[in-house]
Amino acid sequence: MLTPVFRVDQTEDQILLEISAKYSKAAAADICIAENTIIFNAKPYYLRLRLSGRLEENEDEVKCTYDVDEGKFFINMKKLIPGEVFTDLDMLQKLLDTKPKSTLGRSGIEVIDDDAEECEEQEIDDWEFSQEITSEEPIIEGSTYGFANLRSDIFQRLREESSELFEYLEISTVKNAERTEMRIHSEQAKFDEDHYLSDFFEPDYALEAAMNYKGFWEDKQSSLLSPEEKAVLVALRKNSIPALDFKATILVYSGLLELIFSYCYVKRWFGDDLEPEAGTMIAKISPMLSWLDTSEYPPKALESCFRRALIFPYHRSFALAEKCQKDAAKILKHGREAVTKVLLELKALFSRRDPFYLFNQLYIEDYLIWMQSRASAENLEQLAKNAKHIKITKASLGLDLDMLEKAALLVMEDGEMEEDADITTMEEAMKQLGIELGADGEFHSELEREMIENMENQERTPQVGITEL
């Protein structure tokens, strides 16, 4: 849990508490007052304060407001004794301290039981969270994330949430330049040839239904926002998006293409009514969400999504990925309103499951604000054209899909021969096609062999020391 930045002030009759919790789920915030103790809980934030005086515990006397633009809670509480002056409100660490530890008994004499076992576990008399004053400044230089990679102040402290959101727990501490290589290495290890070939040669009814699905983007009129969707837009925080340089702008458009492609893939699988699990799969397909790994250009973003669409979803079909590419191009062609419709559905989807709502604060809400204020209609149109004409080939994915399919066909053809004929095994077929069985018992493509050789060479290369002159 995070200890939020806070400030405490007072009037003659009230205590005024200001809490900065911009990544919280505001609707689920909880405030509890017991005598001189205030407890505030709004995931991922937790704050417990002990004041020098007592407060009115009647919840009707507590007034709480939330500033969406600033991401701040303002809580007004009544003093139990009007006019009492509360001391040390500026001593933040003292306010955060846990309750005083219990002292000796009333007699002041400690009784030692000679019969007690020496290894008896020590009694725990303090079950409270420890709290530390934290800063909202960046922690790791060169490690950023969020919309346009503008953030670096949250995931490093949220290990529990990170373990659910990311494939690599410490990814938020990895420098941006190193994330792509780590991601690709992880993907290579998780690619399941048998699963891919099964969907390729024996597509089931559900996969065929996904291929034939018709989304709202097939009709521009259906891409218009409903009154309910417009109301959500109005309620968004009003923070403006800073002006972005050329590089950051390309990152944002590349990320947008990722989000729309991932949405379309899951939409084809789940249909019109997306289940909460759909949010997990959308995040899984998008490298920006699952690895905090942004692509410098849209073609690279699309290529990465194709790869992940063949590794993680239940249905892993290159043809289905091609359909989703066309879907994304249509949505972009319909313009700002259709794109906004997708982003609003992503926002609603991520809000339904902890801790995926964090993606809303870090990405989706900023994308919505940017789409309404800064996104260029001309750039969206150009991105739509690019998305339509970008050619992603099986060979470009580095998974040896063509070779796998040919090897499987060889095995299937030999399997149809007479029983007394020699039958080609999958291993023999792979060798015929130049894909070798490694020492670890796994088939390795040319890309994988190069990566393994590079890693082994790096390990064998002696480290040369630098002598100071």
Residue extents of the structural domains in the chain = 5-96, 147-191+205-397, 403-458
CATH number of the domain at 5-96, please?
2.60.40.790
**82 CB-side CA count, 13 A:** 1
Query: Residue 44: what pLDDT?
Result: 84
Q: What is the pLDDT of residues 192-214, one digit of tens each?
A: 999 999 999 999 999 999 999 99
Q: What is the pLDDT of residues 437-454, one digit of tens each?
A: 565 555 555 555 666 666
Q: Which residues of the chain have pLDDT under 70?
A: 1, 98-141, 415-469
pTM for the model: 0.73
CA 28 – CA 129 distance, rounded (Å): 20
Task: Answer positive or negative: Cα dihedral of 235, 238, 243, 245.
Answer: negative
